[in-house]
Structure 1
Amino acid sequence: MTKSADHEGGAPSRAGVEQVQRIGAWKVTMWLPLDSTSGNPREIRIEPDEEADPQEVARGITSTVLRQIDTAAFAEEVEPLAELAHAGRQAVENFRRELAGLPKGVSDEYLAVLSALYVRFVNAGRRAPAQDLELWTGSKQATLKGHLRAARQRGFLTKVEGKAGGQLTDKAVETLKGIKLADGADGV
């Protein structure tokens, strides 16, 4: 089974893909971060399966168990996810390039684009839109929160009391219509 994972075991959350295989008495978990350029696992964790025979576990991990770990199947299964992650990185790079082409400073154009991206994340149900904005813009969350506050004060984004949210105003929509983006900059 391959799934997106927030790595277990009390470790800090790490975005990636993991696959669990059962080999005899052992649970083998292979993990690959989403930013990897290879389909091979970066980590392999072997631990006794919850339902394993205690006598089999007592014998330890053998070379036979190690030879049965199927990293090729893992790589084949995660390849489409790696391609998707690469496409996502390209979209972020394109967005940052377009953002750099806007008038410098906290301009109306910048606030309109930032507000539109923020609303898109909120409407997609993202729990931490400021973190997503940080990834997409390359700016710190504290700075972005100040910019969103400015966007609300200058009439680009409506306010929602006590939670993330808001809608683009007519002013924001009109400003966005006036921004010329390079071909292929869509992807946000």
Structure 2
Amino acid sequence: MEANESGFEITQQQGAWVIRMWWPTGPITGGPQRITVEAAEGAATRDVARGISTTVLRRLDLAAAMKLAETAPELQQGMEEVTAKVEEAGSSAGLLLANEGVSEPYLATLAATYKTMADLGAPAPVPWLARLIGRRPETVKDHLKRARREGYLTTVAGKAGGDLTEKATQVLAAFTESGDGRN
């Protein structure tokens, strides 16, 4: 494992090839953001001449690389920073969400806070949100589904988060301008 100024890299060798996987500094929320495959130093010319085979790519062990990446000291520092940012983002909306019924402003604020947490790389944003607003994770999950159904938040396949819709942006703007917002 090698660290550089903006992230860290894990290297694996498969036959005549060196595979480098790079993650940015911060929480590991999925696979690497960059993979490079290069001929290994001293690799047999005949193996390199054949090029990278699908066998080399199938043997790439992403699960082991991710486990190793999770132990990186850079990750711990990044997690502390993300935790602080998520807590800050959540606490600004937490008071409103804790005291508000399931209204338009609640759904729009919940969607915006959830999106912010996911964008910051918060692992499992739903339990964090639930803790911040004093509701059960199942309840928050149901409210997020409702926010999606009612058009406040889009879906991102297979990942936490989404994008705020125009409807959510308008509700948040009207709520803030009316003076009801606690921001």
TM-score class normalised by the smaller sequence: 0.3 to 0.5
Question: What TM-score does the superposition give when structure 1 sets the normalisation length?
Answer: 0.45
Hey, which of these two has a bigger chunk of helix by percent? 2
Larger C-alpha radius of gyration, 1 or 2?
1
TM value normalised by structure 2: 0.46
Structure number with greater CO (CA < 8 Å, separation at least 6) is 2
